[in-house]
Structure 1
Amino acid sequence: MVSTTDMLELLVVLLTMTGIVEPVDICVDNATHKLGRIFLITFGNGSSLYSNKIPSDFNFTTAHTQNLQTSISFSHFGFGNKVPEHSGWHSGALDHTKYDDGGYMFLVDVGNESHQPLFNYKVNNLSSGVCYEFSAHITNVAKSGPTQAKPNVRLEVWEKDKNNTLIAQASTGDLPECDTMSWSKYGVSFVPTSTSVTLLMVSNIFEANGNDIAIDDIELSVCSGNCSGFVFSKVSQ
C-alpha cells in the first residue's frame, strides 16, 4: 500500500515538474537559516583548473579517487573551477556559488561504484529533537546523448551510535540533460535523537556511460519550523 507521505511526495514532484507550483525550500516557511548554519562547503576558489585540496580539507571522505589532471576519468573526481573539456559535457560551465570568481565544485565521474559514498561527513554536537536540513546543489554535467545513464543521487542521514540507524533519506530522481548546465538544490530534513549523525550522498545508478555530476554548496542548517521530511528541488542557474 502506498503511504500518505509517498503520495504527497509524488504530488509535489509532479506539480513542480509541470510548473503548476514553484519549488520551495525543504524547511517549512523558507526558515532554513533563521536559526543558523552548521556548515557550508563551497570548495574555495582559485585560478588553477583543479584545486590541490583534498576531501579531508573539507572534513569529508569519498570512495572515489581524486584526479588533478586535465580530465576526470571513470570513478574519479576533482575539485574544478569549470567543467573540463569533454565532447559530451558542458565544457567551461561554472560552479554554483555566487560572487565566487574561480569557485571550485565537486566534479565526479560516478561510474558503477555500487553503494559507495560520494560524500561521507560526520557531524557532532547536534541538538536532539531539533529539525535540520541537509542539502546540496547538484547538476548533470552531461549534454544530451544516446543511451546515457542519468545520474540519480540519494541523500541519507544515519545515527551511527544508535545501532547504525537510517533516520532520513531522499533521492534527487534522474538529473536531466539540459541544453545549458542548470543547478538545482536538493535536500532532506530530519530530527536526530542523538547528538551525532553521518551525512551521506550515494549514487542510485551504477552505470559507466553517463552518470557524471557536479556538486556544490553542501550545507547543514537548522530549521526554525516543522520538518517536512520531503525532498524538493529549487532551480538556480
Structure 2
Amino acid sequence: MLELLVVLLTMTGIVEPVDICVDNATHKLGRIFLITFGNGSSLYSNKTPSDFNFTTAHTQNQQTSILFSHFGFGNKVPEHSEWHNGSLDHTKDDDGGYMFLADVGNESHQPLFNYKVNNLSSGVCYEFSAHITNVVKSGTKQVKPNVRLEVWEKDKNNTLIAQASTGDLPECDTMSWSKYGVSFVPTSTSVALFMVSNIYATRGNDIAIDDIELSVCS
C-alpha cells in the first residue's frame, strides 16, 4: 500500500492524526479534480500552470536541464549527473506523460502549488493528495526534499484548517513514487490548496510531483 502521511492542525494548534480516503471505491465518493499534466512527445510541455488552474512562486523553464529554483513539465527526468535520468511520470497508461519537475532550491515556504477551489460542501470530508518523489539518486548525500500540504479556508480570514508533511523524501536506487495526502472537513465553501517546501537548500531539494487530486471521502 502506498504511504499516506496525514495530520490535522486544529484550531487550538494541536496536531492530531486524522482518517483519510484510501484507494477503495467504498471510501472515495467522487473526484473534484485530477491533474496529470497531460502527455506529449517533446521533453517539456509548453503548457503553463494556468492551463491547470494553479499558480506557483517558481519560474518555469523548458531547457534541457531544470535550473536552480525553476520547474518544468517534463515527460522524463532530464539529464543530470545525480538524478534518475530518464525516469517516467506516475500516471498509469499515459505514454509520454508529463510530471511537475522542480529544483526547489532555497525557495523555502514559497508555494510550489496553489489551487483555489470553490463550491465545496460544508461538513463533507475531502482528501487533497499528490504523488511525490525525490529525483536524486541514492548515495549523493544531497539535501532531501520535504514538502508540506496545506488547506486554507478562504471565507474565514484565511484560516489554516489542515496540513501534512511528507517528511524527508529518501534517495533511492530507482525513482520511487509515494502518495501523500491530507483530509479535511471545511466549514465554508471555498479553500486554497497549497504545496510548499519545508527545506532551504542550495544543493539537492529536487522533486517530481504528479497526479494531484482532490476527492470526496465517505
Structure 1 and Structure 2 fold alike (TM over 0.5): yes
Shift of residue 114 of structure 1? Answer: 2.6
Shift of residue 161 of structure 1? Answer: 1.9
Shift of residue 216 of structure 1? Answer: 0.1
- In structure 2, C-alpha distance between the alignment counterparts of 1:178 and 1:156, rounded to whole Å: 26
CA contact (8 A) 2:142 2:203 kept: yes
1:62 aligns with 2:65: no
1:135-156 CA distance string (max 9 Å, x none): 0000000012444110000000
Stretches of structure 2 that go unaligned for 5 or more consecutive residues are none
- Name the SS of the counterpart of 1:142 in structure 2: coil
Shift of residue 18 of structure 1? Answer: 32
- Name the SS of the counterpart of 1:56 in structure 2: helix
Alpha-carbon RMSD across the aligned residues, in angstroms, is 6.1
Instruction: Please state which structure has a larger fraction of its residues in strand.
Output: 2
CA contact (8 A) 1:32 1:133 kept: no
- Name the SS of the counterpart of 1:29 in structure 2: coil
CA contact (8 A) 1:121 1:200 kept: yes
- Name the SS of the counterpart of 2:11 in structure 1: helix
Change (3 A) 1:100 1:195: same
Change (3 A) 1:24 1:83: farther
Instruction: Tell me how many residue pairs correspond in the alignment.
Output: 217
Change (3 A) 1:9 1:52: closer
1:50-101 CA distance string (max 9 Å, x none): 0000000000000000011101011000000000000000000000000000
CA contact (8 A) 1:77 1:108 kept: yes
Identify the match of residue 173 of structure 1 among 163, 167, 176.
167
Query: TM-score, normalised on structure 1?
Result: 0.82
Tell me the equivalent position of 2:185: 191
- Choose 55-64 or 137-146, whichever is displaced more: 137-146
Structure 1: which 4+ aligned runs deviate by more than 2 Å? 7-26, 28-34, 144-147
Tell me the equivalent position of 1:81: 75
Shift of residue 28 of structure 1? Answer: 6.1
- In structure 2, C-alpha distance between the alignment counterparts of 1:17 and 1:125, rounded to whole Å: 23
Identify the match of residue 24 of structure 2 among 12, 30, 45.
30
Change (3 A) 1:153 1:70: same
- In structure 2, C-alpha distance between the alignment counterparts of 1:162 and 1:16, rounded to whole Å: 14
1:9-58 CA distance string (max 9 Å, x none): 99999999999999999316845764210000000000000000000000
- Choose 8-17 or 213-222, whichever is displaced more: 8-17
- Name the SS of the counterpart of 1:25 in structure 2: coil
- In structure 2, C-alpha distance between the alignment counterparts of 1:180 and 1:20, rounded to whole Å: 37
- Name the SS of the counterpart of 2:66 in structure 1: coil
- Name the SS of the counterpart of 2:80 in structure 1: coil
CA contact (8 A) 1:26 1:189 kept: yes
Identify the match of residue 102 of structure 1 among 92, 96, 111.
96
- In structure 1, C-alpha distance between the alignment counterparts of 2:88 and 2:133, rounded to whole Å: 11
- In structure 1, C-alpha distance between the alignment counterparts of 2:114 and 2:15, rounded to whole Å: 33
CA contact (8 A) 1:24 1:30 kept: no
CA contact (8 A) 1:63 1:117 kept: yes
Percent sequence identity over aligned pairs: 91
Change (3 A) 1:84 1:146: closer
- In structure 1, C-alpha distance between the alignment counterparts of 2:9 and 2:120, rounded to whole Å: 34
CA contact (8 A) 1:66 1:78 kept: yes
- In structure 2, C-alpha distance between the alignment counterparts of 1:131 and 1:85, rounded to whole Å: 41
